[in-house]
């Protein structure tokens, strides 16, 4: 596979072993991608290969045998996996992001999840689409949580719920850990792209959740969570930015690189219909399009890596990014997805109508990227408005996700 300047720039020294493993998995993931689409779930061979490669414990604390990798490493590894299959990358990224959230819980809860199985996969939906009742020692929770990516293969689920006091008054927004024995997975993920992510609906009815398996979302966003035994830097990462960068943006980077590789590889043999060019690569118009797409992909990487560097550096210092820093990171991440979307559109146009053939991997890349780019937390205009307000000193807030 061609090595672009973008891919060389994505390698960080500390992540070289994990990146090498991810690179070795790409052919297997690519070979199974069609089956995953048909079955609307990751093929077992892909899941086993990812587990054997340690891809589901990238963000698991080291004391449980995890890698406790930095956000930059998690992004680079997830992006590499997306070169083979967008859905596989998405599931790995989501499970690792949720594993990172688990690392913020009281250690009794972490012991229950990772102490028994360091490879435990955890799906997650933070939307508080539930009802809850405070009872002795915890809560009883019922609800339906849509878009739980990786739910088919997860042993645990992280779900959001409105936290009541003893009178029933809602006093907080919480997230709770449920073992798979406490919920069912309802098949509801029928979409145009990212089909194999199995982002189905988690359903729980009158489930008891002990107090130690509950965490406050606002406090986690503010960096207030129980002290950890090891005191590692990773749990201090910015909450919203970590959850945006790893699962939502990293797969886009890999999909953009895969599209560029496919189009440039085919250009040596593919003609341009209704012209005298027997090879696309000989056309100046084609060359300009490829250069424009590559530049947008590079721009996306530069912004994502700046955001990751800011988040990782602040966590290593034991500091919280200020509001302006957090919003610049959100702007970097959201803007990067926009650049990738534009780049893939340019590449499809340059390659021609054949891009949309069922047999062409480009159409799957286009659909996977298109669906992933529309995740609600990315909202480019809302994030630009928030960033602009911060730059101008306007105090009005339009979202709690700063």
pLDDT (tens digit, 9 = 90+) per residue, 190-223? 999 999 999 999 999 999 999 999 999 999 888 8
Q: What is the pLDDT of residue 13?
A: 45
pLDDT of residue 3 exceeding 50: no
Tokens of 3: 């090595």
Q: What is the pLDDT of residue 232?
A: 78
Residue 36 contacts by C-beta under 8 Å, 6 or more apart in sequence?
42, 43, 46, 85, 87, 88, 195, 196
More confident call, 156 vs 376 = 156
* DSSP-assigned letter for residue 151: G
Tokens of 305: 């890596």
pLDDT of residue 2 exceeding 60: no
Report how far residue 170's alpha carbon sits from residue 123's, in angstroms, rounded to the nearest whole number.
25
Q: What is the pLDDT of residue 228?
A: 65
For residue 376, the SS3 value is coil
pTM recorded for the entire structure: 0.94
Tokens of 384: 């630009």
pLDDT in tens, 255-279: 999 999 999 999 999 999 999 999 9
Closest CA to 311 of 365, 233, 389, 363: 233
pLDDT in tens, 120-155: 999 999 888 899 999 999 999 999 999 999 999 999
User: What are the Cα distances from residue 208, in Å, to 7, 101, 142, 213?
Assistant: 47, 20, 9, 10
Report how far residue 221's alpha carbon sits from residue 227's, in angstroms, rounded to the nearest whole number.
15
* DSSP-assigned letter for residue 233: S
Separation of first and last alpha carbons in the chain: 39
Report how far residue 81's alpha carbon sits from residue 55's, in angstroms, rounded to the nearest whole number.
10
pLDDT of residue 10 exceeding 70: no
Are 284 and 218 contacting, i.e. CB atoms less than 8 angstroms apart?
A: no
Domains of the chain: 11-113 (1.10.540.10), 120-215 (2.40.110.10), 236-390 (1.20.140.10)
pLDDT in tens, 73-113: 999 999 999 999 999 999 999 999 999 999 999 999 999 99
CB atoms within 10 A of CB 52: 11
pLDDT of residue 343 exceeding 70: yes
Closest CA to 246 of 192, 184, 308: 308
Q: What is the pLDDT of residue 5?
A: 44
**Count of CA atoms in the C-beta half-sphere (13 A) of 178:** 33
For residue 163, the SS3 value is strand
């Amino acid at each position: 596979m061609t090595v672009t300047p973008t891919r060389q720039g994505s390698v960080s020294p500390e992540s070289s072993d994990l990146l090498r493993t991810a690179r070795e998995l790409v052919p297997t993931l690519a070979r199974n991608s069609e089956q995953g689409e048909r079955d609307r779930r990751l093929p077992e061979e892909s899941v086993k290969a990812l587990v054997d490669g340690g891809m589901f414990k990238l963000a698991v604390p080291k004391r449980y045998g995890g890698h406790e990798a930095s956000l930059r490493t998690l992004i680079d590894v997830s992006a590499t996996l997306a070169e083979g299959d967008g859905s596989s990358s998405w599931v790995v990224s989501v499970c690792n992001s949720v594993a990172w959230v688990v690392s913020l819980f009281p250690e009794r809860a972490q012991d229950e999840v990772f102490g028994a199985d360091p490879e435990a996969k955890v799906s997650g939906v933070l939307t508080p689409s539930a009802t809850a009742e405070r009872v002795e020692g915890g809560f009883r929770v019922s609800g339906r949580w849509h878009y739980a990516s990786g739910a088919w293969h997860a042993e645990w689920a992280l779900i959001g719920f409105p936290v009541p006091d003893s009178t029933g008054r809602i006093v907080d927004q919480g997230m709770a850990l449920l073992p798979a024995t406490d919920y069912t997975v309802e098949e509801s993920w029928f979409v145009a792209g990212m089909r194999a992510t199995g982002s189905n609906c988690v359903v729980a009815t009158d489930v008891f959740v002990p107090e130690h398996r509950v965490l406050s979302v606002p406090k986690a966003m503010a960096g207030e969570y129980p002290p950890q035994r090891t005191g590692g830097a990773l749990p201090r990462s910015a909450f919203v930015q970590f959850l945006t960068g790893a699962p939502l943006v990293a797969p886009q980077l890999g999909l953009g690189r895969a599209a560029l590789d496919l189009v440039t590889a085919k250009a040596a043999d593919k003609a341009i219909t209704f012209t005298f060019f027997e090879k696309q690569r000989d056309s100046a118009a084609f060359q300009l399009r490829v250069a424009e797409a590559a530049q947008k992909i590079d721009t996306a990487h530069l912004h994502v890596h700046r955001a990751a560097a800011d988040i990782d550096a602040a966590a290593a210092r034991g500091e919280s990014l200020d509001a302006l820093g957090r919003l610049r990171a959100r702007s970097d991440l959201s803007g990067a997805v926009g650049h990738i979307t534009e780049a893939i559109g340019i590449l499809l146009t340059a390659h021609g109508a054949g891009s949309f053939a069922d047999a062409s991997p480009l159409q799957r890349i286009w659909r996977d990227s298109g669906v992933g780019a529309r995740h609600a937390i990315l909202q480019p205009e809302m994030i630009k408005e928030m960033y602009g307000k911060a730059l101008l000193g306007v105090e009005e807030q339009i979202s709690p996700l700063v």
